[in-house]
Structure 1
Amino acid sequence: MRKLFTGVFAAVLALLPVLAPAEGEPAGKFDYYVLALSWSPNWCELEGDSRGAEQCEARHDYGWTVHGLWPQFHRGWPSYCRTSEAPPSRAMSRSMADIMGSPGLAWHQWKKHGTCTGLSAASYYALTREAYGRVTRPAVFRRLEQAVTLPASLIEEAFLKENAALTQDSLTITCRDGRIQEARICLSKDLQPVPCGRDVIKDCTLKNARFAPVR
């Protein structure tokens, strides 16, 4: 019995480095990117309004914003990597607010994910902006005048219709607390759509997810 327990314990330990995120790894070692696009009105309902986030003020008119551009392994992901690159200046992070909602988020994404790319802060921000620009965000969602409930699959279908290069294997829609949360798009290092890993391609299956209108 003891041998059986030892064998099972060893097998579990062997899996842990594969299943868990890796922190403090050398920069530049990863397989592909995930571009995470957040529906800002839903984030504001869940978190932003209670924080008094400037991003949620109607004058900004945010729809799909960049949550992050994340280096990814085929299973798992690196974070907070060792890098000799200098962090972004405040001005550099402020310049990303138009697509990310806030300079604070831009800086956090550099610290957690950008350091793992092997790029400079300026290059990481530029690549994030390029990735965002390559994806057509369906305009139909900006025309909503009031909150609706809809199947999460409808969000995926809209993105696939507007982006011929995307496939169901390279796109996943996530939900949180009954709301559409994000569209996550898997991209190669040169920003071409690629199949997502098994730990990323987990579509939301809600049939009645809340989708708030642009403010």
Structure 2
Amino acid sequence: MMAAVAFFVDIFAMSVQGLKPHSPFARSKSGCFSIVSLALAGAILFAAPVSAQSLSDKLMQSMGNDLRKLTPQTSPERPSLRPENKIPQRIPAHPQNVPAAPSSANFDFYVLALSWSPSYCADNGNRSDARQQCGNGRNYGFVVHGLWPQFERGFPENCRHDQANNQVPRDLVSSLSDIMPAAGLMRYQWRKHGTCAGISQRDYFTTMRNAYQAVTIPPALRAVSSPRSVDPQLVEKAFIAANPGLPADAIAVTCNRRRLQEVRICMDKNLKFRTCGEVDRNSCRSRSVNLLPNR
């Protein structure tokens, strides 16, 4: 194709100079016209439509190779979701204008722990206090395990021992059931971690929701319809891609019994992503873990 274009361009160049394409004079000009012809031919080729895949297609194909690792090996087609199994759209509550933590609070940063509910239910589904989360038709994916005040090394816990203030009102439990579907867990998290945040109980749970809403769950990890094996590093990369500004050393993917267990994300007291070396070092070391379905 290059030769053909060069030939026609050569004819054009020669005609402009009043020369015949195959005249002796034309051949003796030290390849000047040939160089011009080749340059023009190259420009035409680059300007012409490309029949091969475009660059964006190649990039999408490359991304697809990674995304296929999150899909079952035996079923390459993406299963369609029946109407009753569609992911319920999260309707975010308007973030409340409450301080995530006063500057004087005696800790350095928060860890938002997101638990993969199917893994929890596989081990605890028969417990009476797990029915709300693990009962029939409970298709939870990532839910909040806790919002934990942390030190750079270690963490505070059980900072208040007032039993009267350790109870969580029923209306507050109900208001968080979409992201933390376990009343007993809410009480436990408040006693162990919330009392160390330096804010009231309601402000703590409001901060928990705000932290949850600050994180985007990757689409491939919202509705998983069948068991699959997945590289924990791929899960981490999916969260980083879905959350601009999330550093690689601000997130840890944990596992237990070769199952995906949690994704832990570090935030400062204003709920902005921040690095956390100690948390990141506790990431799952397995090359492959089981991702149980939530649909």
TM-score normalised by length of structure 1? 0.82
Alignment of structure 1 residues 23-172 onto 2, 5 Å: 28-47=105-124, 49-52=125-128, 53-54=130-131, 55-82=133-160, 86-87=165-166, 88-172=168-252
Larger Rg: 2
Amino acid at match of 1:86: N
In terms of fraction of residues, the more strand-rich structure is 1
Uncovered stretches (5+) of structure 1, i.e. residues with no partner: 1-26
8 Å CA contact retained: 1:96, 1:103: no
Q: Aligned equivalents of 1:96 and 1:136: distance in 2?
A: 18
- The Cα offsets for residues 108-132 of structure 1, whole Å up to 9 and x where unpaired, read as 1111100000110000000000000
- For the aligned residue pairs, the C-alpha RMSD in angstroms reads 1.9
- Gaps (5+ residues) in structure 2? 1-103
SS of residue paired to 1:42: helix
Larger relative contact order, structure 1 or 2 (CA cutoff 8 Å, min sep 6): 1
Shift of 1:86: 3.3
The range that moved more, 78-87 or 167-176, is 78-87
- Give the secondary-structure state (helix, strand or coil) at the position aligned to 1:204: coil
Q: Contact between 2:158 and 2:195, CA under 8 Å: does it hold in 1?
A: yes
Q: 1:141 & 1:186 partners in 2: Cα distance?
A: 20
**Matched position secondary structure for 1:78:** coil
Instruction: Give the letter for the 2:282 counterpart.
Output: K
Sort the Cα spacing of 1:40 and 1:195 in 2 relative to 1 into closer, same or farther, 3 A.
same
Structure 2 distance, partners of 1:83, 1:127, is 22
Distance 1:86 1:192 in 2: 29
Q: 2:268 aligns with which of 180, 188, 192?
A: 188
TM-score (norm: length of structure 2): 0.60
Q: Distance in 1 between matches of 2:221 and 2:280?
A: 24
Per the alignment, in what secondary structure is the counterpart of residue 194 of structure 1?
Answer: coil
2:156 and 2:280 map into 1 onto residues whose CA distance is 14
What is the rounded CA distance, in whole Å, between the counterparts of 1:174 and 1:160 in structure 2?
15
Per-residue CA shift, 1:6-35, capped at 9, x if unaligned?
A: xxxxxxxxxxxxxxxxxxxxx931000000
Aligned length: 188
